[in-house]
Amino acid sequence: MEQSRPRLRFPPLHTTLPSSLCKHLTAKAKRALQHCSRSGTSVAFIFDLWAGQLFRLLEIENMSMRTRLRRRGFTLVELLVVIAIIGVMVGLLLPAVQAAREAARRMSCSSNIRQLAMAVTNFEAARKQMPGSVGTVNSSTDIMTDPLPAASPVTQISWMTNILPYMEQDTLYRMILPTADVSNDPRNTTGPVTPTVNSNTWVAQQKIALFRCPSDTTPTVLPNRAQRSSNSQQYAVTSYKGVAGSNWAWGASATATHPVFGTDPFLINNGNGIGNGNGIFFAGYNGLAPSPANARGGVACNTLIAAVKDGLSNTLMIGEAVGSYSSHNWWFWFNGSVATVAIPLNQPAICPDAAGKPIRKGLEACYLDWANNYSFMSEHSVGGNFASADGSVRLISNQIDIDTYRALGGMQEGAIATMPD
């Protein structure tokens, strides 16, 4: 009887291989190894099979280790490099983003001023004259008393108030009592701070979207507005003003003795650019006519198209302003809705309170210096938007020649200038 060969038995796989490798064996390989171990298959065959599977397992384990190495975190140097790159990219992109936003705000501002010019044009088409602007004076002063006596006859209106019906604000316009002021409207029974709804005082505190430039961050209402500063009164400001002209008798930019810009249609060398300016929208006063002895007197502003002798396309009509830079800024008031081109565009403040302050802070500190800030200003860094009398709108640079600027602001002073591109 042939003696049976001894069977070669391998120890169980889980006792010879790590569990991390055994889990990668295929089910077929496991069954083959177990069968060979029990049946006494040749050592060479079992070894080849076992070695092949072991080689495959070692390959899988090696790949797993490489994967774990690849998934390790960043080193500190790598992290700092990434942060530096991101910082450089943000530094390059942020100014571009800010410039794009300002360009969008400037375009929106330009659209507002174009719509105001259109409202003026529609007013003129219906009434055959430009919107009027006028206030009342008495024999001793060219401004109304503050506050007004209850019995004082008042007739004041600004050109901006007059165009309300032509810019979809007819409801607000109909609330205004034309024979009363903001200080003595009998309908206001709750005072100047929280006035009665629908009274003149309440109307004058309303923010009108078309009267505000997106770049102008001035609050909706401000106190200490020109000629109505007592009793905690506060009124809505405007980002746009009418062009009063180039004749001006006060401050560092006075043109009263200038051979050209000191003139107006009624009196040679009259510097009263408030009460009798040579522009389309001077404030206007019902009082004494201007004369050498009474240069602060004035007339009502009722400009006719025929009076614009320098040409509609060559005459500035509306420009930008900033409410917090001048006390003479509130849209309801005849003397708060116009400005002169005698003072350079965006001129920095020159009063003593501006010393040592940045430009904007200096202008805010000198807001009461009306002789030097009764002018056009904007929050755009390169200039200000203006509408011509023909309704066209363009950006006027801060670097514009002062004589050209003044010539464009007067409607018939005899100095003709071409509008810059």
Higher pLDDT: 40 or 188? It is 188
Which DSSP category does 194 fall into?
S
pLDDT in tens, 96-147: 777 788 888 889 999 999 999 999 999 999 989 899 888 765 433 333 334 4
Q: What is the mean pLDDT of residues 282-294?
A: 61
Could you give the 3-state DSSP secondary structure of residue 182?
coil
For the ranges 73-87, 190-204, 279-293, the maximum mean pLDDT occurs at 190-204
Nearest-5° Cα angle at 240, 238 to 243: 130
What pLDDT, on the 0 to 100 scale, is given for residue 104? 87
Q: What is the pLDDT of residue 177?
A: 87
Structure tokens at 193: 């701070």
> How does pLDDT run across 147-203, given as a tens digit for each residue?
444 444 545 789 999 999 999 999 999 999 887 888 888 899 998 888 999 999 999
- 116 contacts 242 by C-beta, under 8 angstroms: no
- Average pLDDT of the segment spanning 43-58: 56
pLDDT above 80 (res 345): yes
Distance CA 279, CA 374 (A): 14
What was the pLDDT predicted at 316? 95
- The region of weakest confidence among 101-115, 126-140, 285-299, 354-368 is 285-299
Residues 343 and 43: their CA atoms lie apart, in Å, by: 109
Residue 323 has pLDDT above 90, yes or no: yes
Q: Is 304 helix (H, G, I), strand (E, B) or coil?
A: coil
What is the number of alpha carbons within 13 Å of residue 28 lying toward its C-beta? Answer: 1
Which pLDDT value is given to residue 385?
96
pTM: 0.75
Q: Can you name the residues that pair with 241 across neighbouring β-strands?
A: 319
What's the pLDDT at 296?
52
**Does the pLDDT of residue 269 top 80, yes or no?**
no
| pLDDT of 73 above 90 | no
pLDDT for res 203: 95
Mean pLDDT on 220-238: 87
pLDDT of amino acid 150: 45
Q: What percent of the chain has pLDDT over 70?
A: 73
- Least Cα distance to 159 among 214, 117, 212 occurs for 117
How far apart CA 239 and CA 214 sit, in angstroms, is: 9
Q: Which pLDDT band holds residue 421 (cuts at 50, 70, 90)? A: confident
Least confident of 121-130, 269-278, 358-367, 388-397: 269-278
**Residue 340 DSSP code:** B
